[in-house]
Structure 1
Amino acid sequence: MRKPAILALSAAATMALTTLAGAAQAQARTGAASATASSSASTVRYAWLKGCSKKDDYFPCGSWHLALGNGRDSVFKDAQVFPRTAKGKIDKGSFAPLSVSGDGRQVSYWRKKDGLLVVRDVTTNKVRVLPRAVSKLPKGLGMGDLATSLSRDGGLLTIDYYDSDDKIPSLIVNVRTGKVRTIPADSAVVGFSPDGKHVLVSRGTAENTSRFSVYDQDGRRTNTQVVPQVVANNSPMALADDGSSVAVLITTSSGGQRLRVYDLSADTVGDAVDVRVPKNESAKRLEWTSDGGLKLWETLDSVKTGETYRVVVHGLDTGTGATTKLDSFTVKSSLWTWCLPGE
């Protein structure tokens, strides 16, 4: 059973996994099968997979693609599209997870030729193969029964398993060293701090509240709190490098957007700040910047189809709500799925 996107973690202490045998396979360059992914040194704006229809059926099709910042579209043939189920069969009605680091340079995916989880630098074409024990799926789960996410620089990878009874711990994998740590099984990963040193996770409690916790890159819990509903019930959100400040975007009933910053250590919520963006834009992703501001990705969606057709990236002043347009790009139509860097 898939965990909700925002649940929060138990207060249980983190269990450390022993370093897996064969950790951090040596970097390797792969052959022509994926050379197209590095045809340009440009970073990724978004990754996408096309949707196709036949009669009354609708399904994912083709290869993964990377839409690059220079306007090019790169076919990512190395990545597995259709996941293997727990019984080893190919599921052509679903897709194997793929994620992009916040800086748009690293992509994690299941490699088609051998079924291993790998992380590729799309600007150099270098690949890091994760330990085989990480690629080995827990009993009863297939490739599609999990979610992955990369830290901003791609140095850490989280794997969140969707087991029905929430007994399989989520993993924090150091991509460079191969070391693996665990976080409690009933948690859901919300995201990384920009420096990759903290991971924000969430779980629902028995009292129908939400508990947020922060873990460091070694799997140690550094912060935890049952959070107010105004924080738990809104998104997107972002954790700062201090491991405590959580920015939350709130969409009001009138369609406006407000920003609030929650201090996880002090359990206090800052005043609401109106965000100055057009009302036809919807908040999709949020990230802290090195100067203490925020970077905000907004989407424009078709009234007729509901599909996203454009993304606008803003710089956001946390004190005034003023925004500065940083980037804007179109999103292809008829997609089965797509994701931004850092999602």
Structure 2
Amino acid sequence: MTRTRRLAVLLAAISLLLVELQPAALGASRTDHVRYADDSCPGKAVVRPNYGHCAPWRLRLRSGRVLRLTDARLLQGSRIPVPIALSPHGSQVAYIRLSDDALVIRDVTTGAVRAVPGVKWSPVRFAALSLSPGGRFVLLRHHAGQQQVVDTGTGQVRTFPFTVANLSFSPDNRYVIARRLHDDTGREPDTVMVYATGTWTEVRRSLTLRLGALRMDGALLAYLDPAGARPAIRFQDVATGAPAGSALTIPAGETGRRLVWDRAGHLDLLTEVAAKTHGNVLTLRWRRANAGMRILDTFTTTRRAVVPPGSMLSG
């Protein structure tokens, strides 16, 4: 082998090594997402779901790796970390950075961290966080009950003029569905609204739409129906509120918890497996609902954990 040839082979090997090492150095990998996040409390604390969490948060990845969020902020004068949020498929995590109190979005597939412009920690403002697909929007829930949606790229804030019970974005973030709680007088019933996020205009208001997961185009809604002998996933036409398509029966012995669409039109279902759930320790399972309920992942955690799309499974 000539000297030039040896040099070319060496450079190619170095390039390949850098490509292979870069994702691990910066984060997880392009395909490794967060199963759930838990805290660092001693074992005896995990049986108390309402007990304050212990820093640092730990991100449990599907590969088995664990990423510790040592740069996440703590509550003043304590070892309790402030709330975090996971995106629906677990590729992004939102939290308050300890060094500068900025709200940041970490891409766990690359390790890249970006600050949300103009948003800083406030003990009044951050009662809870929720994160949309890809980390595009973050929902801030205030202790006073107010809810705001923040565009994480621009820092633009949208404040809802009513109490939002639930919020769910389409996979491309073009649409969001929200359920407004009735007013204190009870004269206005719960109402479901759909907004186009480009202009934040209301495109649909309904008393018959169920709250669920919006498909890419915002035209189809999937929701969990626990009624009847066999709980199922059902579908609604967003424009008319009429039933659409055929129901998908949830496997026996499992309770539907969450539904998530992706950009390719896959509908994933998170279930709780009854036979393997005991007290605060539970077994969860992700299934590809519109592909014969194929099992994607099964894992065991506690009700204290934060599970995509990003909240504690307290009930």
Whether TM-score is above 0.5 comes out as yes
Aligned to 1:135: 120
Residue 307 of structure 2 is aligned to residue 339 of structure 1: yes
Residue 241 of structure 2 is aligned to residue 241 of structure 1: no
For residue 87 of structure 2, the aligned residue among 84, 101, 109 is 101
Q: RMSD of the alignment, in Å?
A: 3.2
Q: Secondary structure at the match of 1:306?
A: coil
Q: AA paired with 2:269?
A: L
For residue 65 of structure 2, the aligned residue among 69, 72, 79 is 72
Q: 1:195 to 1:341 in 2, by over 3 A?
A: same
User: Within 5 Å, which residues of 2 pair with 1:1-343?
Assistant: 38-41=26-29, 42-52=32-42, 53=44, 58-80=51-73, 82-83=74-75, 89-90=76-77, 96-132=82-118, 134-135=119-120, 137=122, 141=124, 143=126, 145=127, 147-163=128-144, 166=145, 168=146, 170-205=147-182, 206-207=186-187, 209-218=189-198, 220-228=200-208, 231=210, 237-252=212-227, 254=229, 256-270=230-244, 273-277=247-251, 279-301=252-274, 305-317=278-290, 322-328=292-298, 330-333=299-302, 336-341=304-309
Q: AA paired with 1:281?
A: E
1:225 CA drift (Å)? 2.3
Determine the C-alpha separation between the residues in 2 that align with 1:339 and 1:131: 26
The structure whose residues are more often helix, as a share, is 2
Unaligned runs of 5+ in 1: 1-35, 84-88
Determine the C-alpha separation between the residues in 2 that align with 1:221 and 1:228: 20
1:245 CA drift (Å)? 2.1
1:108 CA drift (Å)? 0.4
Determine the C-alpha separation between the residues in 2 that align with 1:156 and 1:78: 21
Determine the C-alpha separation between the residues in 1 that align with 2:78 and 2:297: 36
Q: 1:342 to 1:336 in 2, by over 3 A?
A: closer
Aligned to 1:11: none
The percentage of counterpart residues that share the same residue type is 27
Q: Secondary structure at the match of 2:39?
A: strand
Determine the C-alpha separation between the residues in 1 that align with 2:38 and 2:289: 26
Q: Secondary structure at the match of 1:243?
A: coil
Deviations 1:33-87 (A, max 9, x none): xxx9945323212222255447x9844224101111211122221123x43xxxx
Report if the CA contact (8 A) 1:101-1:154 is conserved.
Answer: yes
Determine the C-alpha separation between the residues in 2 that align with 1:105 and 1:37: 16
Q: Secondary structure at the match of 2:216?
A: coil
Unaligned runs of 5+ in 2: 1-23
Aligned to 1:15: none
Determine the C-alpha separation between the residues in 2 that align with 1:185 and 1:162: 15
Deviations 1:255-294 (A, max 9, x none): x2212212232122347624141x2212121012445441
With the length of structure 1 as denominator, give the TM-score of the two structures: 0.70
Deviations 1:73-129 (A, max 9, x none): 22221123x43xxxxx4466x652211122422210011223221111122222111
Q: Which structure: larger Rg?
A: 2
1:155 CA drift (Å)? 1.9
Moved more, 189-198 or 264-273: 264-273
Q: Secondary structure at the match of 2:56?
A: strand
Across the two proteins, how many residue pairs are aligned to each other?
280
